[in-house]
Amino acid sequence: MANITPKSNGTYLIRISCGSDAAGKPISKSKIFKPSKPNLSYQKLNKEIDTFVKAFEEEIELYGIQERPDRIRFAEFCEKYLEVKKSTLAPTTYPFYENVVKEMLIPKFGTMRMRDIRTHHIQQFIQYLYSEKPRGDGAEGHIAPSTVKRYTTVLRSILTLAYKMEYIDEDVGISRRIEFPKADTPEVEAFTMEEVTEILQATGSEPIHIRTLVEMALFTGLRRGEIVGLKWDDVDLDMQILSVKRSIYKPKNEKALEKAPKSQCSIRTIAIPERLCNTLREYKEHQERHASFLGNAWQNLGYIFTEEDGYVMNPHTPTKQFSKFLKRHNIRHLKFHGLRHTSATMLLANGCDIKTVSVRLGHSDIETTNIYVHALQSVDRKAASTFDKMLNTEVI
């Protein structure tokens, strides 16, 4: 609302409130209005003032868009950032970003103006994470380099959006200007070929849904959420192919829900072996009998892996079922995700090229697939050391 103050020289001071800044200090803009001629009638004067105020308000709105970046502070921009990201991040990723912003970044940068944040502030934050911040699990030692990078990714994402929205003149968070702690090559936990043979033999004495689940993970390398997100329409058993079109996640205290796959590269079609096709045919007949038995209580949603009533399976269920399966058969325990690792290492070990494996796994970057190459190199080194032991020679 405009505040209008007459001046002794016949002009008027027009002051318009523009809210307050991040520190709570009121912001206002003012401008002098001079009537078109002296001694205007009350009606004409008010009309000219109204026109002037309206134009001034429009000018302030445009001016504010240009000026606001000079005033906006990090904490204030984070509100805009989270509002934008809520509709663009995966439902399982947004809570992580929100938590990092509120619990870690705002306490560090909240009162700083966006334009004052420089690359050296990001580097200081990285050093703080790696050398000072306690581990979340209470254990001794530093936060893992990969975790440091995840936290810093959120900060860099904020600065990149600020740059795109013209709140800052330079994207100060670009990776080539930042030094991260050196990350060790992640350890790939996969089953040996002997263990794979044990697993496949053991599935023969298991219910059909367990056998299907294990074979699906081992022969496709799909992620857990992608497996439970499969529908019968996604599989062509005659052509021996399946398509990944969705993934399943479960919010806390809610039912499992669909979401888009992890990345555009995760939307893919891959070939599947005849053994898995035969298992799927058998499993489909079993599911159809079960659905017929339940009648109207069956939810015909088309999912391959379901709860008892036909609703999509909780994505945590395969992990629990696989753990119990391994325990029943006294096989070394690995997480369900270990079947994905095993699928990749088996393919590479048997001559499949890394690009094909990368596509099957739905990796957006072939470098991610390289962790399996490192795993195979590690196995190869162990094989070489066996000769040293056999010959009783020292490894130099």
Residue 121 CA to residue 178 CA, distance in Å, equals: 10
329, pLDDT greater than 80: yes
Q: Do domains 74-177 and 193-384 have the same CATH topology?
A: no
- pLDDT over 70 for what percent of the chain? 85
**Distance separating alpha carbons of residues 40 and 123, to the nearest angstrom:** 63
pTM of the predicted model as reported, rounded to 2 decimal places: 0.66
Residue 387's pLDDT is 55
Confidence tier at 388 by pLDDT (50, 70, 90): low
Band (313; pLDDT cuts 50, 70, 90): very high
Task: Say what the alpha-carbon torsion angle 331, 333, 334, 340 is, to the nearest 10 degrees.
Answer: 20
The predicted pLDDT at position 177 comes to: 81
Q: Which of 244, 241, 123, 104 is nearest to 172 (CA)?
A: 123
230 versus 70: the higher-pLDDT residue is 230
Helices (H), 204-303: 208-220, 224-228, 274-294
Which pLDDT score, from 0 to 100, does residue 56 have?
84
Of residues 327 and 176, the one with the higher pLDDT is: 327
In this predicted structure, what is the pLDDT of residue 179?
A: 87
- CATH number attached to the domain at 74-177: 1.10.150.130
Contact 336, 324 (CB under 8 A): no
**pLDDT value, residue 104:** 93
Q: 13-60: per-residue pLDDT in tens?
A: 998 876 655 455 677 788 899 999 888 898 999 999 999 988 887 777
> What is the C-alpha to C-alpha distance for residues 201 and 60, in angstroms, rounded to an integer?
75
Q: Which pLDDT belongs to residue 383?
A: 52
Domain parsing of the chain, residue ranges? 2-71, 74-177, 193-384
Distance CA 18, CA 60 (A): 8
Tokens of 278: 């035969």
Question: Is 193-384 assigned to CATH 1.10.443.10?
Answer: yes
- pLDDT score, position 233: 97
- CA atoms within 13 A of residue 258's CA, in its CB half-sphere: 11
Which residues on adjacent β-strands are paired with residue 2?
16
- Of 378 and 300, which is predicted with more confidence? 300
- CA 105 to mean position of chain CA atoms: 18
Is the confidence at residue 98, as pLDDT, over 80?
Answer: yes
